Amino acid sequence: MKYTATAILDCREIQFLKQSNTINLHEAFFIFGDSLTDTGNIQLLAPGLAATTLNYPYGESYTFTNEPGHNRYSDGRLIVDFIAQAFSFPFFEPILLELDNGFQTNYTHGVNFAYSGATIQPDITKNPIYLQLELDQFFVYKEALFSSPQPSTPLSFLPTAAYLIPEIGANDFFYAYSKGASPQTVIDEIVPHSLNLLVSAVEQLHESGARTIIVGNQPTQGCSPTILTAFSGSGPYDNIGCLDEYNKVSQVFNIGLEHALTNLQENYKADGTLIIQFDFYNAITELFTNPTQYGIFLFYITKLEVCCGFGGAYNYNLNVSCGDSGNVSLSTGGTQFVNINTALNPKEYIEWDGVHFTQAVYKAITSFFLSGQFVISPPGFSFKQLCNLDFSQF
């Protein structure tokens, strides 16, 4: 399928000419996902809960002046924050803030429905948040806007906004591993059901009127210091130092996702739907392979070492994480009390806290995505070129 594109009115209305169809993409994003995307929903859902409390040095690299406290699982901005800045939008606020305000906030550029800890499958972890619940919140939000006598948000952009799922599913896999499942068991039992539910989410968004849907695949979970520490010695390892079998799970999931979304694109082409697929996996692999090309200068032993952590081969401990304090076991025997309230220069790291990435990585990933690099479909699709985006705030 061939695409041509013409940018009109500084991206306020982009026309993608696809055969005889036209897609109008207005300036708004509705966002779904997990902790790589959450901008505060989990803190609003469970304020003060230890599992949701992010202490300094979370947020040390960027100050969100209108958002007190630490509500992002990184040292600074996430992919969705850089997208907002590139489009000159306000940062995407969490849906629970809108609910607290009684739908009074003027969300003309979209809303964030992502929650840290969210899974694709329901009831797979103790966390009550999963993808369908995020979708249901969107549907409730949409209905509330349409039923309001004086909606604060213009309704014309709802069908033509971009619907973004940067990634989701890693929590499903990790929870299965933590319960003793092998990578092959996850491939056989968890991946197929997760794929079906994610594809169902795209179908539901389309049925609700979405015509521009962006989906990222699974990054390299076998490179996560959490996985590397929890399953140390369960190799083989690749040339980066990642666990092959755990990366294979992500690869199998990604192959299935690409196949399913390509089929949906073909099924939906008659109504002008555009499904944009982003290759998160290979984008992260590129950063691990050539970090200095993207401004990440590694002055430490391994590319997989955690910036904000303590101990072990990856500067990471399963018992005490970034911003926390407590006793940790030492390799030499005994325990030591640590207070992880400082971090080395995050610009020199890929891994932030053992699970999440640094702001420097999210900056590079966003630049890839918006510029058309690692875009699986349509190949080379570039928001930057079409919309004349400004990366100067990056």
Question: Do 350 and 361 touch, CB atoms closer than 8 A?
Answer: yes
Question: Do 169 and 218 touch, CB atoms closer than 8 A?
Answer: yes
Give the CA dihedral 359, 360, 363, 366, nearest 10 degrees: -90
Catalytic residue among 34, 75, 356, 367: 356
26 is catalytic: no
109 is catalytic: no
- DSSP-derived letter for residue 119 is B
Sign of the dihedral through C-alpha 81, 215, 54, 111: positive
CA-nearest of 190, 56, 29, 33 to 111 is 29
Report how far apart, in Å, the C-alpha atoms of 286 and of each of 41, 77, 281, 391 are: 30, 20, 9, 20
75 is catalytic: no
Catalytic residue among 26, 35, 172, 367: 35
Question: What ranges make up the beta strands (E) of the chain?
Answer: 4-8, 13-18, 21-25, 29-31, 110-112, 162-165, 212-216, 274-278, 325-329, 335-339, 375-377
Catalytic residue among 206, 353, 371, 377: 353
The residues that are catalytic are: 35, 353, 356
